């Protein structure tokens, strides 16, 4: 069975590095992009199964990236952001995000969301 592919889209490189090490140690294949435009372009090539998407980034917003990514095809998107505005959370879910998690990230909770996405993808 092929490893689940995760794309991390976040302008905070330290977060990308931390999450890459965490998920690679759990046998996931990981790629990173540091803004929304690069994230959409990377998804076209990498074809991640699961995307961890920040909301506030330079260039296009996380919301714009979410819509563009969902238009590329089926993928499980977990929004991971410090933005705690209920209307943003609702809009993300309306636009196809599987879940929305607040920073600071609790790695065990994030892994649980990723595992939930894996279960959805297997169906």
**Tokens standing for residue 106:** 């609790």
pTM of the shown model: 0.96
Average pLDDT value for residue range 20-28: 97
Where in the sequence is the domain holding 27, given as residue range(s)? 5-122
- Taking 90 as the threshold, does the pLDDT of residue 2 lie above it? no
Q: Which domain CATH number covers 26?
A: 3.40.50.2300
Beta strands in the chain (DSSP E): 5-9, 29-33, 50-53, 76-81, 99-102
pLDDT in tens, 33-69: 999 999 999 999 999 999 999 999 988 999 999 999 9
Q: For the chain, what percent of residues have pLDDT higher than 70?
A: 99
CA distances from 9 to 1, 12, 99, 122, 123 (A): 25, 9, 15, 23, 25
What are residue 84's phi and psi, to 5 degrees? -115, 35
Structurally, how many domains does the chain consist of? 1
What are residue 34's phi and psi, to 5 degrees? -105, 10
Give the Cα separation of 113 and 120 in Å (integer).
Answer: 11
């Amino acid at each position: 069975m092929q490893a689940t592919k995760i794309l991390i889209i976040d302008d905070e490189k330290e977060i990308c590095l931390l999450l890459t090490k965490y998920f690679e140690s759990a046998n996931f294949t990981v790629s990173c992009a540091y803004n929304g435009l690069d994230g959409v372009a990377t998804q076209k090539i990498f074809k991640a199964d699961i995307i961890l998407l920040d909301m506030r980034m330079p260039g296009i917003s996380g919301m714009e990236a979410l819509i563009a990514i969902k238009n590329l095809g089926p993928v499980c998107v977990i929004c991971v952001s410090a933005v705690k505005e209920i209307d943003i959370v609702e809009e993300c879910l309306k636009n196809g995000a599987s879940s929305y998690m607040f920073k600071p990230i609790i790695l065990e909770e994030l892994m649980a969301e990723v595992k939930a996405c894996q279960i959805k993808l297997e169906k």
